[in-house]
Structure 1
């Protein structure tokens, strides 16, 4: 299996692939601008062979985040699916026009050499150069469209608008400067600002309110993609009084009363292996509309909060409720694609939860 193992840094020389890795040259052609779906379904891939078993009928765009096999590109294009590169944007380049120019040129060359269909921008850190960011996103789209016609440009944004000192970023303008904004509706409870207890990673009400707030600020709902998670949090309890009351050790950080650096991120496939060995079985919290369970490791109780087909289906219904542009999953690799019948059913249910209203978004 050929693997495209490229890392881009400012000032580095980008190697050219120089040949089409697919059986047909047509599969190396970037998908045209008029190749659109009514609803976007964006899946992030974290490298590995799992992509071979994805439900490709439910995907419109794959975001590759690390080294990726060339066969993934060929298979995606054969299924009418775009493949875009996840590019991290360091804050320092926003204040330097020459670095911005270098960054854009290097990424355009890289993506063109790899026959990919665009770029997904992930802004690293809290942005203080708001106007520079808006200009940068618009410039990225303009240059990519000039050099790679039909290329897709998207941006990751937080689960809710960031409003330091009551001043929100101009997300409405940002949405107009790219194809869509991917709302990362996860890690909502990573820093606890109230009671120091284990809680759901992405509660339904917060997910809905965060998206609604973007729309209230003037963002076109069709430019918003609801990003869901396929992993959970494993919290070690400092004290467990009962299921759902897992008290955490207090680690104050800045304005956060309870930041727990000991929490572990666990993929859904691991969670499904842990659940049968739990001491409680699956519990459901109706306030957060999320499942959880408790297990014991040596003398320490752990509480695991996660999303499953039931909780994900509820959040997926927000796409229709708010008339969003689509839905996404982080990561496609997090499911169990083995031949085990139980695992196969669990995995199928997770894919179906992306679009519970109908069997697939694509028509």
Structure 2
């Protein structure tokens, strides 16, 4: 009966739209876009008038079990709306490809009452979903601007709604709530944020692990949604990724254009995603892109792109749109990257626009490229019995998709030349690919079955660089940031934290540890390294290290130089006598100019600084007479042409509470403009132990040349006065002679190891190159200063472009200072 009523409903809808068309007023496209109703609202308004759906009864058919663990893991959130008019189809849903189902839904009035629950508590749906490890949330619906103003402006009404929603979800044994308020007036922006803050807090407290989200518009014409705040206080924003053309649109066109090309104007799905990333300061982990399982067919003036419509269009579920396209001929619009079809009935043209597996796959690629939380579907069961849309989801996010990039990456010493590499397991991964290098340029990779990788036999004279990806039969994830370690016989006294995650407005190659590690190693210190998320999540304790070097780079307001969790852990570390070296050009701007009171307190009490201004200096710094950098002058930092990024807005800072100005911008009075670095020795906060701090307002990685970084790091580590953890008897005697050993194995395939010894003395420039028999350079494996001692480099038989070289005899040549040695090797393919 439901199916019959649905098709009758579509026919009635067509008839009703014909009547509406008689009074249709053609507005300019953007003005019409502002005033349009979403597909959610249009379908809700229609089905409220269909008696068969208006009379549905609550489903209390079964008892509900708790949410069970999932057997099939997805790499991203896959959120599906199940409208009450499609409720009967819940048994046909492919639960393997869902993480959350939003029952749509419960109608809300202006007093915060739930006036129509339809099938809710939907026990049949909740029970089946829970058996399959899928959570169910209740959608709260209100589409009336005046009622929304009344509801949101009254604290008691907001609280009444929170209480009612919480009671309904708890009684149903469900897992959360999602809000669909459309037509929110701009003057209720703050009240909406307050409501979502209170709602999320109440659900998280009463139902631990509950999921609270809000549907947000493709374009926020009324400026009613504080996206930054909403992303922070909720579990996710469901970004509208459709209705760019709608049933009453003045022109026919793509419902969900990925791009616009030369035809479709400013607004498209990519624009919306990037707009939300900008407004939320790249809080991509909270952004969910909604995608359409429907299309619209319009009567049009002609068969050309962007044709004017001659009447109101008709919404089609995907199964119908697919069938129509097969019948009339599927076309592909390269401007929007979506399919469409056209046909004539008599003299009347018609155009149908929709999304299929190809266009959705391109949107899923965008989700993966922007590393969003996931997708949402309007609406479940709209694909009928067809499976290609499910296949697109599976290919992108399911068991047939590459796994996600590993997280919580850290590299730690175990002692006796052993190192442990760890990441958090990635959903869908069957192996973890470890990339290893001793120069941060030439890497070899090995696949390991587990996310914990132990390496042994590593030399204490070398720095090892690592990055990790996850792999399965369908491909490889993105790689982590680059980390480094210097092995030791014991435990490392220093931890290097990679905290530079910013991707917009800067150049971040995620490998800047390569500009820290050599300078630390040349001072004789062993060290571990981790991503800053490792500290946030508690996988490593700062207190296990005598000193911490924190890479902040240009991390600013959009990405948080120090999150609240990081601030708490750093504060405790310093209070307990820790030593911190932190550098970054936006820390003061983030924590003081744009920060909360708590941020400002942390900056004052633990970074011991006063923020003076943004954008100070002329790309040079000099040490002060009273500071640890005394005697160092006119040290340059990058303007974007020296291998890192343009440090165009370095902070100007002054010392506070016993701190000392250590670096200044020459030519700029620090009393007016602030300086470039401070040092401090003493207690922090409520602590009683003496700690130490060096804070530079320019990212250390941006200083050049390498010798300048060595000088700066040497002063910092001497100020910290750390034990090296490498005793004299552990340090092997260094040869006085340059030595280039025979490679092994030889002949080789696919890789070989080249050992060599840099003679005793000062750090010297070293170059190791491979040539063919005609004297043409194949690749340079090493081109940097190295400490005296034994070294090994692995060549994987590839040239500088990464291409495998053919079988044959090759010459490898080592040059150290003015001395050189050469040998031959044979590659057999």
Shorter-chain TM range is 0.7 to 0.9
Contact 1:292 1:305 in 2 (8 A): yes
Q: Does the residue aligned with 1:317 lie in a helix, a strand or coil?
A: helix
Contact 2:98 2:134 in 1 (8 A): yes
Partner residue of 2:128 out of 58, 75, 89: 75
Change (3 A) 1:295 1:207: same
Tell me which residue corresponds to 2:240: 184
Which runs of structure 2 are paired with 1:1-363 in the superposition (5 Å)? 21-22=62-63, 27-29=64-66, 38-46=75-83, 47-66=86-105, 67-68=118-119, 69-89=122-142, 90-91=147-148, 92-128=150-186, 129-160=188-219, 162=220, 164=222, 169-190=225-246, 196-205=250-259, 206-217=268-279, 218-237=281-300, 239-240=301-302, 242-244=303-305, 246-249=307-310, 262-278=312-328, 281-297=329-345, 299-337=347-385, 347-357=386-396, 359-360=398-399, 363=428
Contact 2:244 2:255 in 1 (8 A): yes
Tell me which residue corresponds to 2:653: none
Q: Which has the higher strand share?
A: 2
Contact 2:247 2:313 in 1 (8 A): no
**1:288 shift after superposition:** 0.7
TM-score for both structures, normalised by structure 1: 0.78
Contact 1:215 1:221 in 2 (8 A): yes
Q: Does the residue aligned with 1:208 lie in a helix, a strand or coil?
A: helix
Paired residues in the alignment total: 313
Change (3 A) 1:114 1:311: same
Change (3 A) 1:97 1:168: closer
Q: For 1:303 and 1:111, how far apart are their aligned partners in 2? A: 42
Change (3 A) 1:148 1:227: same
Bigger RCO of structures 1 and 2 (CA < 8 A, at least 6 apart): 1
**1:20 shift after superposition:** 8.3
Q: Which has the higher helix share?
A: 1
Contact 1:313 1:354 in 2 (8 A): yes
Any gaps of 5 or more consecutive residues in structure 1? 1-6, 8-14, 250-259, 338-346
Tell me which residue corresponds to 1:253: none
Q: Does the residue aligned with 2:381 lie in a helix, a strand or coil?
A: helix
Q: Does the residue aligned with 1:244 lie in a helix, a strand or coil?
A: coil
Change (3 A) 1:355 1:183: farther
**1:298 shift after superposition:** 5.2
RMSD between aligned residues: 2.7
